[in-house]
C-alpha cells in the first residue's frame, strides 16, 4: 500500500514535470497576431478582409477576432489595455473614456486629411477631442429622421413632385392638414414621434439653440455640466428664456391645433413600455382603423416599415418646428429639428502587443494603415451588404449597393440639415428631459393648469429642467 | 439578589433587573476583554521568541559549520551527511537568488512609491510604457511573501545545522534522506498530503486577499488606470472619504460618505428583516402544515420544495420581468381597474418587493428545517400545557418558540450573516434599485447592499480603491456580527443542559 502510494507520487510528479517542459517549449511560435474587436456578427467579413489586406501588403501576421467591439469596447479595454485588441470598434460616446485610459492613438497627417475628406462630417467630428482626432469613422446610421407613407401625402399641399418627397420646410401641422386633405383611408391615420423620450426631445432643444457642455478637469473626470436648454444667463445676470420657451412652444405645436385642442392625428410615444415608440410603430403599421402615416425613428425600423409599406416606404429629413407667434410673445420664428446622432468608430490601441513591440513606431503606422483600410469605401460597402450597417464613407454612400437604401437617404438628408453628435452627456441628462416632454404632453392634453400652460409656469418648469441637468455634478 | 426574590418579581421587573445588570457588568466585560488581549499577545510573542532564541543560540554557540549555514543554506546539513535536505536548501537559495535578481528585485525596490516613471507618448505616436503600478503592487506582494518564506527557510536551515551539531556532540543519530522520505510517507504523511493544498491556498486565496487589502490604501481607480497612469499610496484617505467625507476625491467625498451611511443602514435593516421574516413566516407555515387537522400534508410540502428546485438565478430574473412596470402583475391590476404599481421603481415599494420576493425564495428552506424540528417536540409537552389551561398563544411562546430558537440559533446567525452579503436577490431583482437621490453617488441605488454597491463600483466604475475599502468594512461587520452573536446565544452557552 505504501509502496503503491509512493510509486503513484513519483509517477504524478514525473507527468507534471514533462507537461511543464512541453508547454514551455511549445510557446513562442512565429508570427505576431493582430487582434480585432468588433460586434459578434461581423466576424467573418472582418477576418476575410484582414487576410486579403495582409496578402496584398505582404504583412506577415495572423489575425484573431474578439466580439468585444461596439458596446463592450470600453469595459473590455479598461481591464488591461496591454492585453487589448490592436484595432477595435466602439460607440462614439465612449471616446473620452477610452482616451482617458490611453487606448486611442491619435490620427495625424495624411490619415487625418483622409478621414476628413472621405467621411460624413458628423462622423469625423464624433472622433474629436480638443484639437485632435482619435478614431476612424465606421458607421453613420444612428440618428433619427422622418419616415412617411408616400400614398398618404402624394399630391397634397406638402408634396414636392420634383423630389418625390415632402416639401422643404414642412411642419407637423402641415402634415395633419395634408392627411385631412387626403381623406379616405388616411382620414384617421396617426403620426407619432417620441415626445416623451429624451433622445428625441433633445432634437427640439438643439433646434431652438439649446445645448449642453460637460467640462472635465485635466484628470478626465466630470467637474461641471452646463446646459442652456431653458435659459441663458446674460453678463448682467438676467435670464433669457427664449430658447426654452421656443422649444416648449415647438413641442406643443407638434400635437396641438392652433385653438389649443389636441390634434386627432397625433399619437403619443415615449421610451417606457406600453407607449414605447418602437411598439407604437409596430402596432399602428398593422392597425386598420388608425394606420400609421408617418413616424420619426431610425434605421432599426427600416426593414419593418419597408415590409409593411412596400414601395410606398420613404424617409426624409425632420420637420420644421414652429416657435411662438407674436401674440404668444415670440417672433414667428421657425426652426429645423435636429437629430441627436451616434457613430461607430474604429480605434487603434497603442498599448497592444503589436504596437508596443516596435519602439520606432513602425508597427503603429502599420496598424493605422490597417484601420484606414477597414474603414475605407470597399469594406464599408461589404459591411453594409452583410449586416446593414450604414456607412460613413461618402463614396460608399453613393455606391449602387447603398444609394437605394431609403432609410439612409433620409438620414443623410437630415445630416445635411442639422445634427448634434451624441458625445458624453451630463450624468443626470435623460430623466429631467423625459419628465419635461412627457409632462408637457400629458398636462396640455388633459387641460391641467399651472404646469406648462402659461409663460410663468413654463419658466418654472424650464428652470427646474436646467437645474436638474446641471445639478448632478454639484 | 437571591434566586427566590428574582423569581418572585413580575416580568417587567425582571427585565429591568437584567438590563441593569448588563449595564453594570458592561465596564467589567470591556476591561476583561482588554486584559486578555495583552495576555494572548504575550503568548504569541513567546512562541515566536522561542524559535528566535534558538536562532540566536545558533549564532552564539554554533561552530564554524553552523555559522556558515547562515550564509549558505543547507551547508550544515550537507556537512553532517544529510545530503537530501542540504541540497534542497541550497537549491532553494539559488532559485531565490535568481528570482530576486531577475524578477522580484525590481518590483520590491519600487514598492514604496508604486512607480514614478509615467508613460510617455512620443512624437511618432508610440507610447513608451514606464512603470506599471498594478504590476508593482501585485508582484511586490508576491515577492514579500516569498521573502517571508525565505526567512522561515533560513531560520529552519540554521536551526537544523545547530541541532545536528548538538546531536553529534552527544552522539545521537540524525535522520538522513532515506529516513526523511520514509517519514514523508508515514509519520509526516499529513505534511505530504497537505503541502499542495496549502500552497494552493496561499497562492490563490491569501496572496490575492492581501493584494486587494493593499488596494484599499492606494488610489487605484478609473482616473489612475495603468499603464496610462500611475497610482500611488494614499494611506487612510479612502477610509476617511467613506466615513467622514474628507478624502481626496473633492466633491464626491461627501456623496460617498452619505451613500455609505444609507447603504450600510439598509444592509443591516435588510439582513435583520429578511432573516427574521423568513424565520417566523417559515415557522408559522411549518406549524400550520404540521397541525393535526390539515389534509394533503405531503402535497403542501412538495409545493414548497418545488420553489427550491428552480435555480434562484432563473426565478429571480423572471420575477424582475414580471414585476416590471409593464409586467404581468401590473397588466392584471390595470385590467381589474387599478393603477399600475411601480414595484421596482419606487424606492419604498421596491424595498418591500425585495423583502417579499426574498420570502418566496427563502421560506421553503426554513419550512423544511422547522418541520423537522417541530416533529421532534414531544407531544406530551403540549398535552400537559393544554391540561394546565394554556391557550395556543401561550403554548407557542413557551414551548415551540424556545425550542426552535435553541435549535435554529446557529442557523439563524449564519442566515443573518449570509443575508448581509445576499448578492443574488438584490442584483438580479432590482440591480441595486431605483437611484433617484441626487445626493447619492451614481453607482448606488435605493436597494443596494454593500456587496452589490461594491460590485457596481468595480465593474461599472473601475473604482477599485473604494470597492476594496467597502469590502474591508463588510468583512469587519460580518466578522463582528458572527463572533459576538455566536458566543452569546443560548445554543452555545447551554449546550449540555437543554430544556
- Alpha helical stretches, state H, A226-338: 242-252, 277-286, 302-309
In this structure, is residue B326 part of a structural domain?
A: yes
Contact of A83 with chain B, judged by CB distance below 8 Å, is answered with no
Distance from CA of A106 to the nearest CA of B (A): 7
Q: Which of B235, B267, B296 is the last residue of a domain?
A: B235
Q: Is A171 helix (H, G, I), strand (E, B) or coil?
A: strand
Provide the β-strand partners of residue A191.
Answer: A266, A294
Distance from CA of B319 to the nearest CA of A (A): 17
In this structure, is residue B12 part of a structural domain?
A: yes
Closest CA to A95 of A127, A68, A67, A119: A127
Q: Is A223 helix (H, G, I), strand (E, B) or coil?
A: strand
CA distance A126 to A122: 6
Assess contact for B227 and B132: CB atoms under 8 A. yes
- Which residues of chain A are in CATH 3.40.190.10 domains? 33-134+342-375, 145-338+420-471
In this structure, is residue B484 part of a structural domain?
A: yes
Question: Residue B293: which CATH number?
Answer: 1.10.3720.10
Contact of A4 with chain B, judged by CB distance below 8 Å, is answered with no
**Same structural domain, B157 and B267:** no
In the prediction, which pLDDT does A1 show?
46
- Residues of chain A contacting B444 with CB distance shorter than 8 Å: none
Residue of A nearest to B443 (CA): A427
A212 Ramachandran zone, left/alpha/beta (phi>0; psi -120 to 50): beta
**Same structural domain, B356 and B482:** yes
In the prediction, which pLDDT does A64 show?
92
Distance from CA of A371 to the nearest CA of B (A): 15
- Grid coordinates representing A1? 500500500
Name the CATH architecture for the domain at A33-134+342-375.
3-Layer(aba) Sandwich (3.40)
Which sign does the torsion angle of CA A9, A13, A16, A18 carry? Answer: negative
CA distance B146 to B140: 10
Longest dimension (CA), chain A: 105
In this structure, is residue B50 part of a structural domain?
A: no
Q: Do B185 and A427 touch (CB under 8 A)?
A: no
Is the predicted pLDDT of residue A217 greater than 70, yes or no?
no
In the prediction, which pLDDT does B215 show?
93
- C-alpha pair distances (Å), A387 with each of A40, A90, A300, A381, B71: 11, 16, 12, 10, 69
Burial class of A330 by CB neighbour count within 10 A (0 to 12, 13 to 18, 19+): middle
Mean pLDDT of the residues in chain A: 85
Q: Do A360 and B325 touch (CB under 8 A)?
A: no
Assess contact for A86 and A35: CB atoms under 8 A. yes
CA distance B86 to B69: 10
Domain count for chain B: 3
Q: Which residues of B touch A (CB under 8 A)?
A: 119, 121-122, 124-129, 185-186, 192, 222-223, 225, 227-229, 251, 324-326, 438, 442, 459, 462
A145-338+420-471 adopts what CATH topology?
D-Maltodextrin-Binding Protein; domain 2 (3.40.190)
The DSSP symbol for A89 reads E
Which of A81, A361, A428 minimises the CB distance to B227? A81
Confidence of residue A137 (pLDDT cuts 50, 70, 90): very high
Contact of A462 with chain B, judged by CB distance below 8 Å, is answered with no
Pairing mode of beta strands A136-142, A339-348:
antiparallel
- Mean pLDDT, 10 residues at a time, chain B of 499 residues: 73 79 74 75 82 78 78 81 83 90 88 86 82 90 91 85 83 77 80 89 91 92 84 89 74 81 93 93 89 85 88 90 84 86 85 93 90 86 86 83 84 88 90 75 85 89 89 90 73 53
Distance from CA of A437 to the nearest CA of B (A): 19
Compute the average pLDDT of residues A154-181.
89
Angle at A191 between CA A185 and CA A194, to 5 degrees: 160
- Residues of chain B contacting A82 with CB distance shorter than 8 Å: 129, 227
**Same structural domain, B149 and B30:** no
Which of A219, A359, A365 minimises the CB distance to B128? A359
Residue of B nearest to A364 (CA): B126
Closest CA to B239 of B223, B266, B222, B215: B215
**Same structural domain, B200 and B148:** yes
- Residues of chain B contacting A358 with CB distance shorter than 8 Å: 126
Distance from CA of A167 to the nearest CA of B (A): 39
**Same structural domain, B335 and B481:** yes
Contact of A357 with chain B, judged by CB distance below 8 Å, is answered with no
In the prediction, which pLDDT does B180 show?
77
Mutating which of B228, B345, B456, B466 best tests the A interface, going by the most A Cβ atoms within 10 A? B228
**Same structural domain, B178 and B267:** no
Which of A100, A350, A473 minimises the CB distance to B127? A350
- Grid coordinates representing A469? 441637468
**Same structural domain, B220 and B271:** no
Compute the average pLDDT of residues A22-43.
76
Domain that holds residue B351: 252-493
**Same structural domain, B326 and B475:** yes
Provide the β-strand partners of residue A324.
Answer: none
In the prediction, which pLDDT does A474 show?
44
Distance from CA of B84 to the nearest CA of A (A): 16
CA distance B213 to B209: 6
Q: Do B121 and A350 touch (CB under 8 A)?
A: yes
Residue of B nearest to A428 (CA): B438
Assess contact for B156 and B268: CB atoms under 8 A. no
CA distance B74 to B155: 11
Is the predicted pLDDT of residue A331 greater than 80, yes or no?
yes
Which of A102, A360, A471 minimises the CB distance to B119? A102
Assess contact for B398 and B390: CB atoms under 8 A. yes
- Residues of chain A contacting B138 with CB distance shorter than 8 Å: none
- Residues of chain B contacting A215 with CB distance shorter than 8 Å: none
CA distance B128 to B120: 5
More confident position, A76 or A22: A76
pLDDT digits (tens, 9 = 90+) for A226-244: 888 888 888 888 888 889 9
Q: Do B185 and A108 touch (CB under 8 A)?
A: no
- Residues of chain B contacting A473 with CB distance shorter than 8 Å: 251
Confidence of residue A122 (pLDDT cuts 50, 70, 90): confident
Distance from CA of B252 to the nearest CA of A (A): 9
Assess contact for A171 and A322: CB atoms under 8 A. yes
In the prediction, which pLDDT does A429 show?
84
- Residues of chain A contacting B192 with CB distance shorter than 8 Å: 9
In this structure, is residue B247 part of a structural domain?
A: no
Assess contact for A384 and A402: CB atoms under 8 A. yes
Assess contact for A459 and A242: CB atoms under 8 A. no
- Residues of chain A contacting B119 with CB distance shorter than 8 Å: 102
CA distance A426 to A413: 28
**Same structural domain, B345 and B401:** yes
Who's near B327: CB < 8 A, 6+ residues apart?
Answer: B321, B343
Amino acid at each position: 500500500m505504501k509502496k503503491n502510494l509512493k510509486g503513484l507520487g513519483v509517477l504524478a510528479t514525473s507527468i507534471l514535470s514533462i507537461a511543464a517542459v512541453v508547454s514551455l517549449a511549445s510557446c513562442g511560435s512565429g508570427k505576431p497576431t493582430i487582434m480585432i474587436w468588433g460586434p459578434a456578427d461581423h466576424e467573418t467579413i472582418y477576418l476575410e478582409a484582414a487576410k486579403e489586406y495582409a496578402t496584398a501588403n505582404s504583412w506577415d501576421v495572423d489575425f484573431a477576432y474578439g466580439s468585444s467591439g461596439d458596446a463592450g469596447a470600453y469595459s473590455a479595454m479598461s481591464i488591461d489595455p496591454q492585453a487589448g485588441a490592436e484595432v477595435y470598434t466602439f460607440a462614439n460616446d465612449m471616446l473620452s473614456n477610452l482616451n482617458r485610459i490611453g487606448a486611442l492613438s491619435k490620427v495625424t497627417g495624411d490619415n487625418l486629411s483622409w478621414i476628413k475628406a472621405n467621411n460624413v462630417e458628423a462622423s469625423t467630428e464624433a472622433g474629436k477631442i480638443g484639437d485632435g482626432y482619435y478614431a476612424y469613422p465606421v458607421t453613420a446610421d444612428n440618428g433619427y429622421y422622418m419616415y412617411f407613407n408616400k400614398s398618404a401625402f402624394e399630391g397634397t399641399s406638402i408634396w414636392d413632385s420634383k423630389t418625390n418627397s415632402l416639401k422643404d420646410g414642412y411642419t407637423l401641422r402641415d402634415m395633419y392638414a395634408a392627411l385631412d386633405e387626403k381623406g379616405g383611408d388616411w382620414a384617421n391615420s396617426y403620426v407619432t414621434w417620441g415626445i416623451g423620450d429624451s433622445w428625441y426631445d433633445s432634437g427640439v432643444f438643439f433646434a431652438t439653440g439649446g445645448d449642453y457642455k460637460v467640462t472635465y478637469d485635466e484628470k478626465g473626470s466630470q467637474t461641471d455640466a452646463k446646459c442652456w436648454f431653458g435659459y441663458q444667463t446674460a453678463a448682467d445676470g438676467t435670464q433669457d428664456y427664449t430658447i426654452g420657451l421656443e422649444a416648449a412652444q415647438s413641442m406643443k405645436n407638434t400635437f396641438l391645433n392652433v385653438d389649443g385642442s389636441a390634434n386627432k392625428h397625433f399619437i403619443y410615444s415615449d421610451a417606457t413600455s406600453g407607449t414605447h415608440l418602437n411598439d407604437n410603430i409596430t402596432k399602428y403599421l398593422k392597425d386598420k382603423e388608425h394606420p400609421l402615416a408617418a413616424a420619426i425613428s431610425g434605421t432599426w425600423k427600416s426593414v419593418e416599415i419597408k415590409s409593411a409599406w412596400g414601395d410606398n416606404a420613404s424617409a426624409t429629413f425632420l420637420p420644421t418646428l414652429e416657435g411662438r407667434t407674436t401674440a404668444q410673445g415670440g417672433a414667428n420664428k421657425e426652426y429645423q429639428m435636429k437629430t441627436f446622432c451616434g457613430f461607430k468608430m474604429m480605434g487603434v490601441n497603442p498599448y497592444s502587443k503589436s504596437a508596443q513591440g516596435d519602439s520606432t513606431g513602425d508597427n503603429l503606422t502599420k496598424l493605422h494603415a490597417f484601420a484606414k483600410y477597414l474603414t475605407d469605401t470597399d469594406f464599408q460597402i461589404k459591411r453594409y451588404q452583410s449586416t446593414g450597417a450604414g456607412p460613413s464613407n461618402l463614396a460608399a454612400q453613393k455606391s449602387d449597393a447603398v444609394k437605394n437604401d431609403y432609410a439612409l437617404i433620409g438620414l443623410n438628408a437630415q445630416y445635411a440639415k442639422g445634427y448634434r453628435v451624441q458625445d458624453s452627456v451630463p450624468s443626470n441628462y435623460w430623466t429631467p428631459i423625459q419628465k419635461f416632454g412627457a409632462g408637457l404632453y400629458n398636462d396640455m392634453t388633459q387641460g391641467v393648469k399651472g404646469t406648462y400652460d402659461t409663460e410663468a409656469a413654463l419658466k418654472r418648469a424650464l428652470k427646474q429642467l436646467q437645474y436638474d441637468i446641471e445639478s448632478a455634478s454639484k | 439578589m437571591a434566586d427566590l426574590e428574582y423569581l418572585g418579581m413580575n416580568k417587567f421587573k425582571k427585565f429591568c433587573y437584567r438590563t441593569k445588570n448588563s449595564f453594570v457588568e458592561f465596564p467589567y466585560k470591556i476591561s476583561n476583554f482588554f486584559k486578555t488581549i495583552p495576555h494572548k499577545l504575550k503568548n504569541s510573542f513567546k512562541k515566536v521568541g522561542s524559535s528566535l532564541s534558538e536562532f540566536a543560540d545558533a549564532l552564539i554557540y554554533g561552530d564554524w559549520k553552523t555559522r556558515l549555514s547562515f550564509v549558505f543554506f543547507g551547508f550544515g546539513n550537507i556537512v553532517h551527511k544529510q545530503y537530501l535536505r542540504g541540497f534542497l536548501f541550497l537549491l532553494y537559495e539559488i532559485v531565490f537568488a535568481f528570482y530576486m535578481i531577475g524578477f522580484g528585485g525590481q518590483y520590491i525596490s519600487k514598492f514604496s512609491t508604486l512607480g514614478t516613471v509615467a508613460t510617455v507618448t512620443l512624437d511618432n505616436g508610440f507610447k513608451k510604457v514606464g512603470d506599471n503600478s498594478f504590476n508593482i503592487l501585485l508582484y511586490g506582494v508576491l515577492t514579500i511573501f516569498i521573502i517571508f518564506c525565505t526567512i522561515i527557510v533560513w531560520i529552519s536551515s540554521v536551526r537544523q545545522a545547530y541541532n545536528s551539531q548538538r546531536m553529534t556532540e552527544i552522539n545521537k543519530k540524525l535522520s538522513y534522506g532515506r529516513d526523511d522520505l520514509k517519514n514523508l510517507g508515514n509519520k509526516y504523511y499529513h505534511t505530504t498530503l497537505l503541502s499542495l493544498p496549502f500552497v494552493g491556498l496561499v497562492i490563490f486565496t491569501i496572496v490575492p486577499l492581501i493584494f486587494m487589502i493593499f488596494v484599499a490604501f492606494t488610489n487605484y481607480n478609473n482616473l489612475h488606470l495603468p499603464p496610462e497612469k500611475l497610482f500611488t499610496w494614499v494611506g487612510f484617505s479612502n477610509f476617511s472619504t467613506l466615513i467622514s467625507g474628507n478624502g481626496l476625491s473633492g466633491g464626491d467625498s461627501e456623496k460617498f460618505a452619505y451613500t455609505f451611511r444609507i447603504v450600510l443602514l439598509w444592509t443591516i435593516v435588510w439582513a435583520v428583516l429578511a432573516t427574521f421574516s423568513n424565520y417566523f413566516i417559515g415557522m408559522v407555515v411549518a406549524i400550520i402544515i404540521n397541525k393535526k387537522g390539515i389534509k394533503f400534508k405531503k402535497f403542501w410540502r412538495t409545493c414548497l420544495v418545488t420553489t427550491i428546485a428552480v435555480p434562484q438565478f432563473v426565478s429571480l430574473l423572471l420575477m424582475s420581468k414580471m414585476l416590471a412596470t409593464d409586467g404581468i402583475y401590473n397588466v392584471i391590476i390595470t385590467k381589474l381597474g387599478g393603477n399600475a404599481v411601480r414595484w421596482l421603481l419606487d424606492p419604498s415599494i421596491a424595498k418591500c418587493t425585495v423583502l417579499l420576493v426574498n420570502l418566496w425564495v427563502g421560506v421553503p428552506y426554513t419550512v423544511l428545517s422547522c418541520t423537522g424540528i417541530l416533529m421532534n417536540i414531544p407531544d406530551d409537552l403540549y398535552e400537559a400545557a393544554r391540561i394546565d389551561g394554556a391557550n395556543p398563544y401561550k403554548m407557542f411562546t413557551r414551548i415551540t418558540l424556545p425550542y426552535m430558537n435553541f435549535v435554529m440559533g446557529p442557523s439563524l446567525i449564519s442566515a443573518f450573516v449570509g443575508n448581509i452579503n445576499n448578492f443574488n436577490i438584490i442584483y438580479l431583482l432590482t440591480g441595486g434599485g431605483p437611484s433617484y437621490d441626487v445626493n447619492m453617488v451614481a453607482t448606488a441605488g435605493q436597494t443596494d447592499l454593500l456587496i452589490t454597491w461594491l460590485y457596481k463600483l468595480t465593474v461599472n466604475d473601475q473604482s477599485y480603491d473604494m470597492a476594496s475599502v467597502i469590502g474591508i468594512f463588510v468583512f469587519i461587520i460580518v466578522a463582528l456580527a458572527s463572533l459576538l452573536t455566536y458566543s452569546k446565544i443560548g445554543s452555545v452557552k447551554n449546550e449540555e443542559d437543554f430544556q
